[in-house]
Structure 1
Amino acid sequence: MHDIFVLYNRPKDPEAFDRHYISTHVPLVRELPLLQDFTWGKVAADAPDAHYLVARLSYASKADADNSLASVAGRASVQDLENFAQAGAMVLNVPRERQE
């Protein structure tokens, strides 16, 4: 398994960010091919210097993640970041480790 975590910095206008993220960006992400799971949530408000929102995209493999992001839907979702994530975002590629 392979996860991509997207850590969004705190926006200047949280309401506008939320509106665009929920109505536009989430539907784009849900169109990604090979995506096995997509979850997201806001960081606790009592941590004002922390990231604002964290998203996790899960794939069977890194190759699937790479192919997904290289697709038409993947390129559209990445291009959409400039429409709402002006404060920036950090993307982490994390292969899952198995403990047996």
Structure 2
Amino acid sequence: MVRFLVLYNKPVDIEAFERHYREVHIPLAKKLPGLRRYSRSRHSVPVRGGEPYYLVAELEWDSMEDIKKAFQSEEGRATAEDMANLEKLSPGVHSMIYELEEM
């Protein structure tokens, strides 16, 4: 299992961010080939202090190969291009890809 994690800071305009995320970005991302799960959580609680993230999104694929194909697809390029819009509304977005290992 491979997970794509996106961490959003508090938006400069919460209403505009929420509208764009809900009406534009989620529908784009849900079209990504091979996507198994898309979840999000709000207002994380930092363990060691600091500011909490406003929104955390997690997207899952079966393999690293699957996520690479998804990101290289037409849908993947459209979703990546739309991230520029979200970054304007929530500056300092962080993201990472990692493989899960069962323990």
Unaligned runs of 5+ in 1: none
Q: Secondary structure at the match of 2:87?
A: coil
- Residue type of the alignment partner of 2:39: T
Structure 2 length-normalised TM? 0.87
Paired residues for 1:27-66 under 5 Å:
27-44=27-44, 49-66=51-68
Could you list the structure 1 runs, at least 4 aligned residues long, displaced by more than 4 angstroms after superposition. Answer: none
Q: Secondary structure at the match of 1:84?
A: helix
For residues 24 and 48 of structure 1, the distance between their equivalents in structure 2, rounded to whole angstroms, comes to 30
> What is the aligned-residue RMSD (CA, Å)?
1.9
For residues 50 and 12 of structure 2, the distance between their equivalents in structure 1, rounded to whole angstroms, comes to 12
2:100 is aligned, of 91, 96, 99, to: 96
Count of residue pairs the alignment pairs up: 99
Structure 1 length-normalised TM? 0.90
Unaligned runs of 5+ in 2: none
